[in-house]
Every structure is written in C-alpha cells, then in structure tokens.
C-alpha cells in the first residue's frame, strides 16, 4: 500500500468511525450513565467483533480481488455508492437522540452489549466487505494490507469511541441543539461524499 492510499483512507475511515450510529450512541450513553472508564472498557467488545469481521473479510476477499477484475470493479462501485448513501442520510438528519439512563450494570454486561450490537450491525459488515478493499493494491500482499487497514480502522474506532464517551460526559446537551447536530452531520456527510468520489476515480493499482 502506498502513502497516498493510506492518506486517503484515514480521513474517510475516521468519518465512518465518527458517523452517529447505534454503537457510538451506546458508548456516549454508557459514559453518561456509568463513567468514561466503563464506556471505554465496554468498547473492547465492539473492537473484538470488528476484528473478527476484518479477519473474515480479508480471508474471503483476497482470492476474489486477485482473480476477478469485474468483481473488484463491482465492489468499488458498491463501496462508493454506500458512502454516498451514508452521506445522503447524514445530510438529511438533524438531531441525535440521547438514550435514557439505565440501572447500574457491570463492565462485563456493558462489554457483552457492545459486542452483540457490533456483531449484528449490517453497516459494519458492509464497511469491511465493500470499503476496506477499495484501498488494497492487488499488486502487493493483500493480507498484509488488510492487516494494516484493519489495525488503522480499529485504532481510529477506539479514538471515535473516546470522543463519543467524552460527549456523553461533558457535552450532554450538545446533540439536543438541532443546529449543532446538523452542522456535525453535514461535516461528516461532506467528507464521505468526497471520499466516495475519490474511490470511483481510483483503479486497482492506485
């Protein structure tokens, strides 16, 4: 993988990591209800689920990427369209709901909840099967590149979790302001739209 591909990957990936979704809202609510440390420990469940998905995607897509130009093109188009769809949904959205408080839970229970939610998240499955392969250069080692991309994704995911957990602690009423929520969503939508356009312009060797 060349440096340019990685530089394109990081902002697009972080925009996906920061997209308001069920896991991020859960992390924010866990921090609000149980504290920052509990929320971060619980997030290990999400990272484990995502690690398994990345490993499965890498092992299953490596052969396809090497063997079929048509399949690679289809995956690239699908990935770009998926980014555009997320951007469209974000642009149209205005405010994010904050979950109500819950009774005290153990860290283990919170971790299991994060794992279950991540494992059943269809958006995550699509990201690992349609987004990550866009940045793989089939002229190099596909498995090694998947490892680098996967590790980068998980690191950025952990950072996004920390950001949402901090929102839950210190910016509890931030998302209740429709104007602020709209600007946040549209900023993510803009980055995702640009990233989708870049993916459509990339070829297998870029």
- At residue 93 the predicted structure's pLDDT band, cuts being 50, 70 and 90, is low
**In sequence order, what are the residues at sequence separation of 6 or more whose Cβ sits closer than 8 angstroms to the Cβ of residue 141?**
none
Mean of pLDDT values over 163-192: 75
Return left, alpha or beta for 28; rule: phi > 0 is left, psi -120 to 50 is alpha, else beta. Answer: alpha
Report d(CA 103, CA 22) in Å as an integer.
19
- At residue 182 the predicted structure's pLDDT band, cuts being 50, 70 and 90, is confident
**Predicted confidence (pLDDT) at residue 190 exceeds the cutoff of 80:** yes
CA angle 187, 5, 70 (to 5 degrees): 100
Of the chain, the percentage scoring pLDDT greater than 70 comes to: 75
What pLDDT is stored for residue 155 in this prediction? Answer: 96
Tell me how far CA of residue 95 lies from CA of 74, 90, 105, 170, 180, in angstroms.
Answer: 34, 10, 27, 18, 8
Tell me how far CA of residue 41 lies from CA of 35, 38, 163, in angstroms.
Answer: 10, 5, 14
The 8-class DSSP code of residue 130 comes to I
Contact 37, 169 (CB under 8 A): no
Label residue 106 exposed, middle or buried (CB < 10 Å: 0-12, 13-18, 19+). exposed
- At residue 154 the predicted structure's pLDDT band, cuts being 50, 70 and 90, is very high
Alpha-carbon 132 to chain mean position: 10
What pLDDT is stored for residue 77 in this prediction? Answer: 78
**Predicted confidence (pLDDT) at residue 5 exceeds the cutoff of 50:** yes
Give 40-68 pLDDT, tens digit per residue.
999 999 999 999 888 877 877 555 555 56
């Amino acid at each position: 993988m060349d440096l340019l591909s990685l530089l394109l990957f990081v902002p697009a990936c972080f925009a996906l990591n920061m997209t308001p979704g069920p896991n991020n809202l859960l992390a924010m609510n866990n921090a609000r209800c149980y504290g920052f440390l509990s929320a971060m420990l619980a997030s290990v469940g999400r990272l484990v689920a995502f690690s398994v998905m990345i490993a499965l995607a890498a092992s299953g897509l490596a052969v396809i990427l090497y063997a079929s130009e048509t399949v690679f093109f289809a995956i690239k188009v699908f990935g770009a369209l998926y980014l555009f769809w997320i951007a469209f949904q974000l642009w149209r959205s205005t405010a994010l709901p904050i979950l109500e408080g819950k009774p005290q839970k153990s860290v283990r229970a919170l971790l299991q909840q994060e794992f279950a939610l991540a494992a059943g998240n269809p958006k995550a499955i699509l990201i690992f099967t349609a987004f990550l392969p866009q940045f793989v250069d089939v002229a190099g080692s596909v498995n090694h590149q998947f490892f680098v991309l996967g590790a980068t994704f998980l690191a950025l995911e952990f950072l996004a979790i920390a950001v949402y957990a901090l929102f839950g602690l210190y910016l509890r009423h931030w998302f209740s302001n429709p104007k602020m929520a709209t600007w946040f969503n549209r900023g993510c939508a803009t980055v995702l739209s640009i990233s989708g356009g870049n993916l459509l312009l990339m070829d297998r060797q870029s």
